[in-house]
Chains A and B, each alone.
Chain A
């Protein structure tokens, strides 16, 4: 008996999916305008808020005014990429039922969502450049030494993966329940706050710091940003990045379990 050979894995369909996602994002010019505009307006607001707070109170020694403004500016630019829900398509296709046809295609479905999300992210990553140029007109952003920038880049990628898996898990819940839009928005606001995107976690009250630093959200924004502004010193880089890697691995494992359970469910329901 001859067992049919497994088709050889090909990259081309996924490259094509990513390219299509980029083209799709580029057609929404209004969204491009608002995301850059939003960064600038919020940058101005954050500059004014931190300036007012630092003017009349004792300055935290570890985070002077220029460092906290740099932190906020880099956080906003990171947000252009981090705040994207890359696997939104999974939720949408579960909602309208078209996911069934995806499983008939000769592709790996999970990977096709990943490719689509990657295309979207690459397009938004490109937007960081004009945003950064315009941001420099509003505020001064400190630039750390090259080694720190490299550690920041590694940490940013890991933070991105942590965010990616959290979104993926949320979208996977659509296998079981369809009304998750409001829940997702709630989670987004909480991660913005608990991840250190809005306020550096080191400025939280000490009791709260003990909680927020052990949550996975801190691995998204806080770790790369604290490396950037130098609060995590070079000797602490390995440990901090290690914790992020563990979170990324744990969440990836949880996501794969959910994906498997979810896809089985579709089969058992008969589509």
Chain B
């Protein structure tokens, strides 16, 4: 399995080198995407110095923490999101007859993946740490990678659960669209600005708040005002990530066992 995975990355990197112009354009695209999101936050917070007790420096840290986890997911697991397309096209059946785990195959479907977003995310995160003046100690250095991995696993779990739904309903785009919107737009702001129902959804149903809000609250030494939880819940992200993936994986196995093809 390890050798197959190495081969998968070799193909990815060769593909990227083959289409260099494309790569540069999409890198620019990624930079402008995150740049304009941060610019919008900066513009608003120059006029209004704080948002529920958060200033721009702290919100830049909040954004960078999410970006780190999200980029980690996009680099290693984004191919899981293509499973519904493969099911619809009837290509997924091929995966089932190969002597390798189906989920592993779904993750290691070569595309044009290159760790550019991850590199950009690490640079942004380092800049945000310096800029926000967050207290950096051993605890921080040990936990940030774990939280980024945990956050990426939360992302993966949601991605996998939605893709699994495609075993029953062929079109899952609407569901995916709602979850993507919740993740990309709602994680930019502190959880405490939302109404109670949305806070609960973002904590317990689609736990995106564990990707950045809870850990950032802890590291920045703020008190948690959204659900009045102790700040240390921010360190639970890796556990939440593992639990989510375990649940999503169980759902995936269940779906896989019931799957009978789409009738091609």
A48 in complex: contacting residue of B174, B178, B194, CB < 8 Å: B194
Residue contact A52 to B193, C-beta cutoff 8 Å: yes
Residue contact A56 to B36, C-beta cutoff 8 Å: no
Closest residue to B22 on the A side, CB-wise?
A179
Q: Complex formed: what's the CA distance from A51 to B192 in Å?
A: 12
Residue B140 lies at the interface, judged by CB distance under 8 Å to chain A? no
Enumerate chain B residues within 8 angstroms of A198, measured Cβ to Cβ: 40
Q: Complex formed: what's the CA distance from A42 to B184 in Å?
A: 11
Residue contact A49 to B32, C-beta cutoff 8 Å: no
A38 in complex: contacting residue of B49, B171, B181, CB < 8 Å: B181
User: Given A33-B174, A45-B185, A189-B33, are A183 and B49 neighbors across the interface (CB < 8 Å)?
Assistant: no
Residue contact B47 to A60, C-beta cutoff 8 Å: yes
- Stretch from A8-16, A89-97, A199-207 contacting the other chain: A199-207
Residue contact A182 to B25, C-beta cutoff 8 Å: yes
Enumerate chain B residues within 8 angstroms of A37, measured Cβ to Cβ: 174, 177-178
Distance in Å: Cβ of A197 to nearest Cβ of chain B = 11
Residue B186 lies at the interface, judged by CB distance under 8 Å to chain A? yes
Residue B195 lies at the interface, judged by CB distance under 8 Å to chain A? yes
User: Per-position contact with A for B8-52: 1 when CB-CB < 8 Å, else 0?
Assistant: 000000000000011001101100110010011001101111111
Q: Complex formed: what's the CA distance from A164 to B31 in Å?
A: 26
B25 in complex: contacting residue of A44, A54, A183, A192, CB < 8 Å: A183
User: Per-position contact with B for A115-138: 1 when CB-CB < 8 Å, else 0?
Assistant: 000000000000000000000000
Residue contact A199 to B50, C-beta cutoff 8 Å: no
Q: Complex formed: what's the CA distance from A16 to B245 in Å?
A: 52
Residue contact A42 to B50, C-beta cutoff 8 Å: no
Residue contact A182 to B51, C-beta cutoff 8 Å: no
Q: Complex formed: what's the CA distance from A245 to B190 in Å?
A: 41
User: Given A45-B186, A52-B193, A186-B28, are A193 and B40 neighbors across the interface (CB < 8 Å)?
Assistant: yes
Residue B92 lies at the interface, judged by CB distance under 8 Å to chain A? no
Residue A34 lies at the interface, judged by CB distance under 8 Å to chain B? yes
Q: Dominant SS at the A interface?
A: helix
Residue B5 lies at the interface, judged by CB distance under 8 Å to chain A? no
Q: Complex formed: what's the CA distance from A216 to B178 in Å?
A: 33
Residue contact A189 to B193, C-beta cutoff 8 Å: no
Residue A26 lies at the interface, judged by CB distance under 8 Å to chain B? no
Chain A interface size band reads: 20 to 34
* CB proximity to A under 8 Å, residues B145-202: 171, 173-174, 177-178, 181, 185-186, 189-190, 192-195, 198
Residue contact A203 to B51, C-beta cutoff 8 Å: no
Residue B53 lies at the interface, judged by CB distance under 8 Å to chain A? yes
Enumerate chain A residues within 8 angstroms of B29, measured Cβ to Cβ: 182, 185-186
Residue contact A205 to B193, C-beta cutoff 8 Å: no
Residue contact B50 to A56, C-beta cutoff 8 Å: yes
Q: Complex formed: what's the CA distance from A182 to B185 in Å?
A: 21
Distance in Å: Cβ of A189 to nearest Cβ of chain B = 5
* CB proximity to B under 8 Å, residues A146-161: none
Residue contact A205 to B46, C-beta cutoff 8 Å: yes
Enumerate chain B residues within 8 angstroms of A38, measured Cβ to Cβ: 177, 181
User: Per-position contact with B for A69-95: 1 when CB-CB < 8 Å, else 0?
Assistant: 000000000000000000000000000
Residue A176 lies at the interface, judged by CB distance under 8 Å to chain B? no
Residue contact A193 to B50, C-beta cutoff 8 Å: no
Distance in Å: Cβ of B162 to nearest Cβ of chain A = 15
Enumerate chain A residues within 8 angstroms of B36, measured Cβ to Cβ: 189-190, 192-193
B-binding residues in A (CB < 8 A): 30, 33-34, 37-38, 41-42, 44-45, 48-49, 51-57, 60, 179, 182-183, 185-186, 189-190, 192-193, 198-199, 203-205, 208
Would you mind naming 24 contact pairs between A and B with Cβ atoms under 8 Å apart? A30-B171, A41-B181, A42-B181, A44-B198, A48-B189, A48-B193, A48-B194, A49-B189, A52-B190, A52-B192, A53-B44, A56-B48, A56-B50, A57-B48, A57-B49, A182-B25, A182-B29, A183-B25, A186-B29, A186-B32, A189-B36, A190-B32, A193-B36, A198-B40
In the A-B complex, the 5 residue pairs with the smallest Cβ-Cβ separation, listed nearest first, are: A52-B193, A53-B48, A57-B48, A182-B25, A182-B29
Known A48-B189, A56-B52, A60-B47; 5 more pairs at CB < 8 Å = A33-B174, A53-B51, A54-B48, A189-B36, A205-B43
